[in-house]
Amino acid sequence: MNTKRMIAAAALVTAAALSLSGCSTGTSSSSSSSSDASGQTITVWAMNGDYSDQTLAAIDKAFTKKTGAKVKLETQEWSGITTKITTALSTSNPPDVLDIGNTQVSSFAATGGLMDLTKYKSELSEGNTWISGLEEPATIDGKLYAVPAFAASRAVIYNKTLWAAAGITSAPTTWDEFTADLDKVAAKNSSDSDFVPFYLPGQYWYSMLQFVWDAGGNIAVDKNGTWKGTTSNAKAQTGLKNWKSFQNTYSSKASQTVDTTSPDMNQLMAEGKTSAILSNSSSIAAIEKQNSKITDSDLGTFPMPGQSGSNQPSMIAGSDWAIAAKSTHAELAREWVKIAASSTMQQKWVFGHDGWLPNTVEGLQKAMDTSDFPEVQKGFFEAAKKSKATPASPNWATIEGDKSVNEFTQAIATGSKSIKAAASSFDSHLDEVLNKSN
């Protein structure tokens, strides 16, 4: 199993999508039958860095064997993909199947570019439970517009060697155990003024979301077709207070005004300047590359415990398979997606070969039960069982792009604004941006 491929999908989203005039969601002119489609060809757009060539070839082979149809596979680059997909979906002959970042689905669904797959959900999921952080952003107004392809989750990555030196020999499973362990690590390394037990940058809004969700709050909700910023709500306020307290207690003052790359939190782990971070599995390889003395045996992972009494919902990344509303081979496209999302393909290829997290809760557990499952990855798989994603608004990309969410969490971490004032201002911005017409 190639665990080095366990990286978060880069959901590169640009500004608001162009209007897809003339698209009719959920309809198709297709009369193709998947039972005998010899001589027909479907076009699949796959993103570079998602499924490997070998996995895609395995899907195509199974598809052709079952239907007789062939696949024209076109690999796409993330740079400029939003505009390219938007343009393609507005044509009369778009690609039939598209690989879309999980936070991008709402943008294309809102403009009518994607087929409504709601009535096929049971068939496409094989009755299993999809990872919620992939399914939720693919579900708009109760309708399913894409099928989970794979996931990458965030979990706590910790230096087991440093923790063992502080007398800690097993990963915590509760919030009290977690903070008690960090207190022990802090005490053991108190002579190093540059050391922090848990490095958590003030602009790291992914982590903020997990605290808000753990408290039962949300950053924004859709109320009868209108988005409403909800960081001022009581539950969200509790989550924000918990996040600030944790960040101020276990990270450094200097970290309150920066993101995860300046300085690089993986480098800080590699240098032993912190004993733990919240990140996805790509950090494992990055840490080991930056310090060759650190190996898998030195690192461990576990889901971020919550003050709610259970694990925090993990901020999930990943991709989904969608079908163009104007596909002329809709039935064949569904067959290809069904094969790609199947438990057989997910276990043998998506997880077994590519090293991604499978798309279902059942698949996560099955992968973990394999004899060669890498222990260092356990936390990511456990975390993915309880996951969420950013609000499924077509305009969420603007919130990330204008850095307002970074400024929001920085203001809370530094105390430049009260949590209540920061939330009030951010909610107003969310109300304005998330409800703009595309």
Residues 292 and 189 reside in one and the same domain: yes
Tally the domains of the chain.
2
Is residue 370 in a domain? yes
Residues 185 and 299 reside in one and the same domain: yes
Is residue 82 in a domain? yes
* Tokens read off for 292: 């060759």
Partner residues linked to 324 by β-bridges:
114
For residue 10, is pLDDT > 80? no
Is residue 397 in a domain? no
Q: Mean pLDDT in the chain?
A: 90
What's the domain range around 51? 3-153+316-385
* pLDDT level of residue 29 (50, 70, 90 thresholds): very low
Is residue 219 in a domain? yes
Is residue 396 in a domain? no
Residues 118 and 81 reside in one and the same domain: yes
The pLDDT value given to residue 394: 87
* Tokens read off for 69: 């149809």
Here the CATH number for the domain that contains residue 135 is: 3.40.190.10
- Phi first, then psi, for residue 343 (nearest 5°) are -60, -35
Residues 181 and 306 reside in one and the same domain: yes
Is residue 395 in a domain? no
Residues 291 and 209 reside in one and the same domain: yes
Partner residues linked to 319 by β-bridges:
101, 150
* Tokens read off for 184: 């022990």
**305 prior amide bond cis, ω within 30:** no
Residues 250 and 164 reside in one and the same domain: yes
Provide, rounded to the nearest whole percent, the portion of the chain with pLDDT above 90.
84
The pLDDT value given to residue 438: 54
Residues 12 and 142 reside in one and the same domain: yes
Residue with tokens 């004032």: 421
Residues 286 and 194 reside in one and the same domain: yes
For residue 186, is pLDDT > 50? yes
Q: Where are the alpha helices (DSSP H) in 68-204?
A: 81-89, 105-110, 121-125, 132-135, 160-165, 175-188
Provide, rounded to the nearest whole percent, the portion of the chain with pLDDT above 70.
92
Residues 256, 207 contacting (CB under 8 angstroms) = no
Residues 90 and 224 reside in one and the same domain: no
Is residue 184 in a domain? yes
Is residue 91 in a domain? yes
Residues 143 and 214 reside in one and the same domain: no
Structural element, H or E, at residue 95? none
Residues in the chain, total: 438
Residues 85 and 189 reside in one and the same domain: no
Residues 168 and 244 reside in one and the same domain: yes
The CA-based dihedral angle spanning residues 113, 116, 120, 124, taken in that order and rounded to the nearest 10 degrees = 40
State the DSSP string of 328-372: S-HHHHHHHHHHHHSHHHIIIIIITTT-PBPSBHHHHHHHHTSTT
